[in-house]
Amino acid sequence: MKKIITNFLLLIFCSVPRFIKAQIGTDKIHTINEDKSSDPGFVENFSFTPVNALSKGFSDIKSLSKKQLNTVSLLSKAGMDKISLQQAKYAMMLDVAIESIKNTTLYQFIENWYGTRYRFGGTTKKGIDCSAFADKLLSAVYDLVLPRTAREQYKFCEHISKDDLLEGDLVFFNTRKGVSHVGVYLANGRFVHSSRSQGVMISSLEDNYFARRFIGAGRVN
């Protein structure tokens, strides 16, 4: 019974304005009863349609609506205390199930840096470039050290197939004359990086811009 309730509650989160990817499929569309109580019984009043959150423009962890925040609160009141707001936010951004967000050190690091502006040669919160951000993340989260530039990092790591990417691997792009941009892979085709346009953010390898410029992937052991 607890497993059934858990699955239903996860579906609730998928019914808010921007959605996370649920693991149970359905074709029905309803809305959540506005009279939400902490009693899990209200889950009978809804269904959902999975939507790719990133493709709908959800790219800022600070843009959760009040309804989304209230839904996380409901999950907690219903006994889902192990689900944190941070898990919920990044599950939405990566379009994955909440329970797959397990590396709290990684996502806390990203949250601390998210939105920091890009600065060529920068290494601090006042501004940071892509290779410095990758180095700081791998050092803080995985205790790994990288060379300074994206090109050096590409030569330094073990090259792997795009299909073999795992959390913490590096992804490289040709944005200007060879290997010139690097990001850190997260999950489901998403990676975190310091972009020239928006600073530290999460993007998709399937975005046209990055798909056309993708050079390869690497793993640091």
Check: CB of residue 10 under 8 Å from CB of residue 98: yes
Helix spans in 54-94 (H): 66-77, 85-94
184: which strand partners?
170, 192
| Residue 130 is a catalytic residue | yes
The radius of gyration computed from the CA coordinates of the chain, to the nearest angstrom, equals: 19
DSSP 3-state assignment of 196?
coil
| Type of residue at 24 | I
Q: Are strands 199-204 and 190-195 parallel, antiparallel or unpaired?
A: antiparallel
Task: Pick the catalytic residue from 14, 30, 130, 157.
Answer: 130
Task: Pick the catalytic residue from 14, 30, 157, 193.
Answer: 193
Helix (H) or strand (E) holding 7: helix 2-13
| Residue 193 is a catalytic residue | yes
195: which strand partners?
199
Of 4, 54, 48, 55, the C-alpha closest to 26 is: 48
Q: Alpha-carbon distance 2 to 63, whole Å? A: 31
| Residue 30 is a catalytic residue | no
Please give the positions annotated as active site.
130, 181, 193
